[in-house]
A and B are shown apart, each in its own frame.
Chain A
């Protein structure tokens, strides 16, 4: 008898991939339904993923904030008004049915968090919101709270385990193959339903605010499993993050300062270039427009030596700057940026900071319905990396709300699905195909190293895709991606330690990054307009006549299938006509 292809087999009812905000909430709900839940994470639980880096706003309509949580919210707000704001700020590409569920269920989800021990630490109004809606629960505390709750609910957690690919047959999803990083063992995870809660793919770009793990694994696995992706042309950027010094690259402190103070965003000629984009609001314009403007300056050769723009506080008199420690609310007091003390880096504010837009969030992703179901039976998805909630642009504070509302729904409906589904055997051919991805990395090869491969992917995303896109560059990106795809099976790995082999992880991630980047490029090529987080310099206008549609992508073998699906005006009517990029639409009455 031949050897088994894998080292260990683990059975469960619902397999949840990702253990932070969304995955944790899904796991808690599925366990509550009485099914056996296994949650796996590539990193350490509550010490990895995007949730713990969240500032801490979790959005709920202002009236519910007032009535349920005793904060000074406005009685004039409602879940409906919150939904209208989301649809408008998402530049009308959101799925209005999903948005209605989102704002309707948000109050109950936050109420639960408080019952589980969370504490509200503030209440704010962020740009884009008609009323204050940001309840402050720091992401780090939220992640730990949910981890504790998961354990209480009896969820099994497998840390440091990277899922390589999903397994399926004609009827639907069967489980996954995973690599256990501490031992290098290959695990066969068999289940009745899967929830993908793996977040976005921000690390496909060279500058990002996202943690290490956010390499689009779930998006790419869903694509390879036959799921439909949507709105992949809308990765979101924050306009002002540090570019130098190296330790601060991608730290979002300058953006936070820009939201709180008057700042001057300057190009290398000293010009406040935002005057050309939004003459009234200037740097207080929305973050998508600020990012596009900065990227245009950089691309036009008016940037800083390190390839950014400048953010200056020099206009403030020195004897006022003395009081700077008093300016900020609790979260920025003392010029602290996350775990950094800025006075370790900058002696004073005489010099401008070198800043650049960094990829911060993934607006699009796996297409889901109200039950978080994908088109693949048994495959559910939730949270960042699913499409339809935010449309072309996300409101501040709405990412954490997304984790709780949609994590819970995914957990519930995946458990219900599991109850009526039998475990099925995995076809050997599929098993072999997936496991080969791991074992290939253990064989000698003369191809590019996994590090070179990753660097090349980020070069393509930075130079040829970026925020400001154009047909010729996108076509060149597509060609470069196809070249890298041919080299992928020959990636070279230097070390063959079975314990925490960083190169193996990167080698596997490289395929995911390539798949996701190709989706971004293909969708961006089709959409011949500029909207929300996406700007085409060859089509610098928003065209509501032609492009109020979602772009759906699916891959069958080597064939890509693209579909345009018109947006449905279920609750809010849609704008008409054509407007310069950045000008808000005024929707027709209805």
Chain B
């Protein structure tokens, strides 16, 4: 259940950098509202604090998997994961980094056409397939 309390400020650390180059951790103090998603936090940072942050997202409702990231060590979809407190956000897989939180996502289909199944789906893929 979402805490109905008021806005508060959390500390968000994000692992940043370009593939094959030096990486660093950027820290942001972000005001959050009850019921805000991790994606909402990334959007806030981009819009109000640091427009150079790279991240990807599309559907925002937990279907597409484009916003796959690692939050406090756990691979999740940023859009359907609610903010709980201070957090460390990293690419979902270090080896797949393109820049900041943008990664080469696991393939849905191979070039030759055979399905290789769906990408890793945090919280069970069925959750994402609803509706």
Q: Are A and B bound to each other? A: yes
Q: Nearest Cβ in chain A — how far from B5, in angstroms? A: 12
B99 touches A151 (CB 8 A): no
What residues of chain B lie closer than 8 Å to A500, measured between beta carbons?
54, 56, 98-100, 102
CA distance A576 to B20 in the complex (A): 68
Contact of B35 among A148, A212, A244, A501 (CB under 8 A): A244
Interface string of A489-502 (1 = CB under 8 A from B): 00001110101111
Q: Nearest Cβ in chain B — how far from A214, in angstroms? A: 10
What residues of chain A lie closer than 8 Å to B50, measured between beta carbons?
494
Q: Decide yes or no whether B9 CB sits under 8 A from chain A.
A: no
CA distance A184 to B52 in the complex (A): 14
Q: Decide yes or no whether B47 CB sits under 8 A from chain A.
A: yes
Interface string of A52-95 (1 = CB under 8 A from B): 11011000000000000000000000000000000000000000
Q: Decide yes or no whether B115 CB sits under 8 A from chain A.
A: yes
Which of A247-255, A309-317, A412-420 is found at the contact surface with chain B? A247-255
What residues of chain A lie closer than 8 Å to B62, measured between beta carbons?
338-340
A47 touches B51 (CB 8 A): no
A44 touches B105 (CB 8 A): yes
Chain A: CB-nearest residue to B102: A500
Q: Decide yes or no whether A35 CB sits under 8 A from chain B.
A: no
B109 touches A247 (CB 8 A): no
The residues in A between 104 and 146 inclusive whose CB is less than 8 angstroms from any CB of B are: 138, 140, 144
Chain B: CB-nearest residue to A154: B113
Interface string of B57-83 (1 = CB under 8 A from A): 111111111100000000001011010
Q: Decide yes or no whether A29 CB sits under 8 A from chain B.
A: no
CA distance A451 to B51 in the complex (A): 8
Q: Using A213-B58, A336-B130, A338-B130 as known contacts, say yes or no to A148 and B109 having CB atoms under 8 A apart.
A: yes
What residues of chain A lie closer than 8 Å to B37, measured between beta carbons?
246-247
Chain B CB within 10 Å — which of A148, A251, A256 has the most?
A148
A494 touches B52 (CB 8 A): yes
Contact of B111 among A151, A246, A451, A497 (CB under 8 A): A151
Q: Using A47-B66, A48-B58, A343-B1 as known contacts, say yes or no to A182 and B36 having CB atoms under 8 A apart.
A: no
Q: Decide yes or no whether B110 CB sits under 8 A from chain A.
A: yes
Q: Decide yes or no whether A550 CB sits under 8 A from chain B.
A: no
What residues of chain B lie closer than 8 Å to A152, measured between beta carbons?
113
Q: Decide yes or no whether A332 CB sits under 8 A from chain B.
A: yes
B61 touches A147 (CB 8 A): no
Q: Nearest Cβ in chain B — how far from A241, in angstroms? A: 11
CA distance A55 to B63 in the complex (A): 11
What residues of chain A lie closer than 8 Å to B102, measured between beta carbons?
499-500
CA distance A56 to B80 in the complex (A): 21
Contact of B64 among A47, A256, A331 (CB under 8 A): A47
Interface string of B86-111 (1 = CB under 8 A from A): 00000000000011101001001111
CA distance A49 to B1 in the complex (A): 31
What residues of chain A lie closer than 8 Å to B112, measured between beta carbons?
151
CA distance A251 to B79 in the complex (A): 12
Interface string of A456-477 (1 = CB under 8 A from B): 0000000000000000000000
Contact of B99 among A46, A211, A497 (CB under 8 A): A497
B64 touches A340 (CB 8 A): no
B64 touches A247 (CB 8 A): no
CA distance A332 to B130 in the complex (A): 7
CA distance A140 to B66 in the complex (A): 13
What residues of chain A lie closer than 8 Å to B61, measured between beta carbons?
53, 251, 337-340
Q: Nearest Cβ in chain A — how far from B12, in angstroms? A: 16
Q: Using A246-B37, A247-B80, A451-B51 as known contacts, say yes or no to A344 and B60 having CB atoms under 8 A apart.
A: no
B111 touches A247 (CB 8 A): no
Q: Decide yes or no whether B18 CB sits under 8 A from chain A.
A: yes
CA distance A340 to B131 in the complex (A): 10
What residues of chain A lie closer than 8 Å to B39, measured between beta carbons?
247
Q: Decide yes or no whether A245 CB sits under 8 A from chain B.
A: yes
Chain B CB within 10 Å — which of A45, A52, A500 has the most?
A500
B64 touches A52 (CB 8 A): yes
A339 touches B109 (CB 8 A): no
Q: Decide yes or no whether B46 CB sits under 8 A from chain A.
A: yes
Interface string of A352-371 (1 = CB under 8 A from B): 00000000000000000000
Q: Interface on B for A, CB 8 Å cutoff?
A: 1-2, 18, 33-37, 39-40, 46-47, 50-66, 77, 79-80, 82, 98-100, 102, 105, 108-115, 118, 123, 127-131
Smallest CB-CB A-B distances: 6 pairs: A339-B62, A245-B35, A495-B52, A338-B61, A247-B37, A152-B113
Q: Interface on A for B, CB 8 Å cutoff?
A: 43-49, 52-53, 55-56, 138, 140, 144, 147-149, 151-152, 182, 211-213, 244-248, 250-251, 256, 331-332, 336-341, 343-347, 449-451, 455, 493-495, 497, 499-503
For the complex with contacts A182-B98, A246-B40, A497-B54, 20 further pairs of A-B residues with Cβ separation under 8 Å are A44-B105, A45-B108, A138-B129, A148-B113, A148-B114, A212-B57, A212-B58, A244-B35, A245-B33, A247-B37, A336-B131, A338-B61, A339-B123, A339-B127, A340-B62, A344-B2, A494-B51, A499-B99, A502-B53, A503-B52
